[in-house]
């Protein structure tokens, strides 16, 4: 059976006609896409790979990717960590940023979490302003214990100033 995709071209093209004529589609990622997504997140400045060191239990729930023609333009990964829904990664390729793709990806991850019964969603923000604009609120580090690996990282508050944030799903 063909996989369901959502065509988001119309929504993006209204604001960015320069992106015509290729199709832009959002698609649920499959397991075989994961190596490409992890590489994509790392290429866009996200860190992956140290979780095994910590006693956290992170399960991938659903990932979505935005394709611009054949090119991966953005992706988001929704996961569950110690029973809480989290955004485990979100990135948009540099040349497609500031066109609301990040917001569309976040909308998709949050609506998926809501369908699965989530009332809140957490993340460790490298771009807090992006999430503040969306309605996320900062949470004190000691009130979000499953992000403690940051405290152990030598770049914490040196080159990396992450902020733990939470969104209440209405
Ligand atoms: C963060 C990121 C995903 C945002 O994607 P994007 O497609 O550029 O975001 P959008 O166009 O949907 O922006 C939505 C709003 O957030 C704002 N915004 C986006 N990125 C921002 C940033 N880094 N700082 C401040 N505001 C930002 C936009 O100006 C826009 O505001 P507006 O609605 O008032 O115009 C993208 O910049 C990215 O991939 N960054 C590198 C990876 C990263 O840091 N990921 C987040 C890890 S926690």
Ligand 1 interacting residues, C-beta cut-off 6 A: 44-46, 90-92, 97-103, 123, 125-127, 129-130, 133
Place of tokens 């866009």: 44
Question: pLDDT tens for residues 16-26?
Answer: 877 776 778 89
Would you state the pLDDT for residue 159? 73
Instruction: Please compute the mean of the pLDDT values over residues 2-30 and round it to a whole number.
Output: 75
The C-alpha atoms of residue 122 and residue 67 are separated, in whole angstroms, by 26
Would you state the pLDDT for residue 96? 94
For ligand 1, atom 20, the nearest C-alpha belongs to 130
Write down all domains in the chain, each with its CATH number in brackets: 5-168 (3.40.630.30)
User: Is the backbone peptide bond immediately before 21 cis, with ω within 30 degrees of 0?
Assistant: yes
The C-alpha atoms of residue 83 and residue 57 are separated, in whole angstroms, by 8
What is this structure's pTM? 0.86
Please give the number of the atom of ligand 1 that sits closest to the Cα of 97. Answer: 8
The C-alpha atoms of residue 38 and residue 87 are separated, in whole angstroms, by 14
Question: pLDDT tens for residues 31-57?
Answer: 999 999 999 999 998 876 555 555 567
Look up residue 45 and give its two tokens: 């400045």
Q: How confident is the model at residue 27 (pLDDT cuts 50, 70, 90)?
A: very high
Give the mean pLDDT of the chain: 85
Q: How confident is the model at residue 126 (pLDDT cuts 50, 70, 90)?
A: confident
């Amino acid at each position: 059976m063909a996989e369901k995709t959502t065509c988001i071209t119309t929504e993006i093209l209204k604001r960015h006609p320069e992106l015509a004529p290729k199709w832009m589609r959002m698609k649920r990622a499959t397991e075989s896409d994961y190596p490409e997504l992890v590489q994509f997140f790392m290429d866009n400045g996200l860190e992956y790979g140290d979780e095994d060191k910590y006693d956290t239990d992170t399960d991938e729930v659903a990932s979505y990717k935005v394709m611009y023609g054949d090119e991966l333009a953005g992706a988001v990964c929704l996961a569950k960590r110690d029973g809480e829904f989290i955004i485990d990664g979100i990135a948009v390729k540099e040349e497609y940023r500031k066109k609301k793709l990040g917001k569309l990806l976040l909308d998709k991850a949050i609506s998926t979490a809501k369908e699965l019964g989530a009332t809140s969603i957490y993340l460790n923000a490298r771009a807090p302003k992006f999430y503040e604009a969306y309605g996320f609120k900062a949470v004190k580090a000691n009130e979000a214990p499953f992000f403690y690996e940051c405290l152990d990282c030598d770049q914490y508050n040196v080159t990396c100033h992450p902020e733990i944030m939470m969104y209440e799903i209405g």
